[in-house]
Amino acid sequence: MTSSRRPCATTRRSTSSAGSPRSASRTAWPAASSGTAPTGPRERPEVTSPRRIAVVPAYNEEPTVRDVLGKLYGYVDELVVVDDGSTDDTRGEIEKFLAGRDGARMLVHDVNQGMSEAYYLAFGDLRRRLAAGELSPDDFVYTVDADGQHELAVLEDLHRRMHDERLDALLVQRDLSTYPPYKQVGNWVMSTWATIWSGGVALKDVESGYRIFRLGALADALDYYQGYKYSETVEVAIVLSRLGYRVRNDVLVPVPVFRSRTRMKDVVIDLAAMPAAAFRVTLRRPKDQPVPSLVPPVLTSAAIAAAAVAPPLAAVGLLRRRRRSRR
């Protein structure tokens, strides 16, 4: 899949120059105030190695986007924000933030395409720069939501864990203890379903958008998944896991703010997208680079389907027998 298949988008820059160890233990970070992060323009130190690049998709986040970008700016070497066709003044707030800041730029969808397309626009741009030699496969790519729900005060600790454990992807597990019960149950169902298709990686919060990727692994994964609406987060987790990359999804981080835009339709899309991503990896991966067999998840899925269908079928059969006995 190449970027030529994606909707056209424009790029706007600021006016300045511009698989986890599967036995890993679960780790929780204490709550902390994200207000400690730098919020204004600063003199940037020498670029770190690996380079830190943050990607922030934004759609109608006028009240929060500028604050999130301000807090995130001090942590990274490069900041890429995608305005996904916002109908409020999100783009205006982003442009105000970009003024006078180097290493920060905006990509734009003039019409809303969905979160997955926003990520693909930014990731595709990074992959092109990687191919051109501008970036290193060992650079880190952070993804952070523009609505303020991600705890940025732990970002340095997450980076250190990513680096020290030589991970390819660190998918933060959000602490959903303050979320409504239906959201907690839904997240458990989605993550359990994802684990079935992951090829052996335990996924605890597959819907999390708070992540760190090694750019080389992310660029490889882009050949195997095509996000739709919100499915990018679940698909990339499945793809990276099945490709054999070192993925962790058990580092627990508090969530300062509860926000959710997903609807039942999005849940259905994500449930279907996960096995589709698994099959895509198997079909597209070169034969000399084996991936986990699809037989176990297919059999498990069949067993789940049979268990779900058996009770209603038994009830229908019982009703029919009763009707016959009355005749």
Tens of pLDDT along 175-211?
Answer: 999 888 989 999 999 999 999 999 999 999 999 999 9
Q: Residue 323's pLDDT band (boundaries 50, 70, 90)?
A: confident
pLDDT at 27: 44
Higher per-residue confidence, 25 vs 273: 273
Show the tokens assigned to 288. 């000399």
pLDDT at 255: 87
Q: Residue 263's pLDDT band (boundaries 50, 70, 90)?
A: confident
Lowest average pLDDT, out of 47-61, 160-174, 255-269, 306-320, goes to 306-320
pLDDT at 261: 67
pLDDT at 1: 38
Q: Which of 110, 182, 122, 175 has the alpha carbon at shortest distance from 146? A: 122
Q: What is the dihedral of CA 160, 162, 164, 167, to 10 degrees?
A: 180
Lowest average pLDDT, out of 52-61, 214-223, 308-317, goes to 308-317
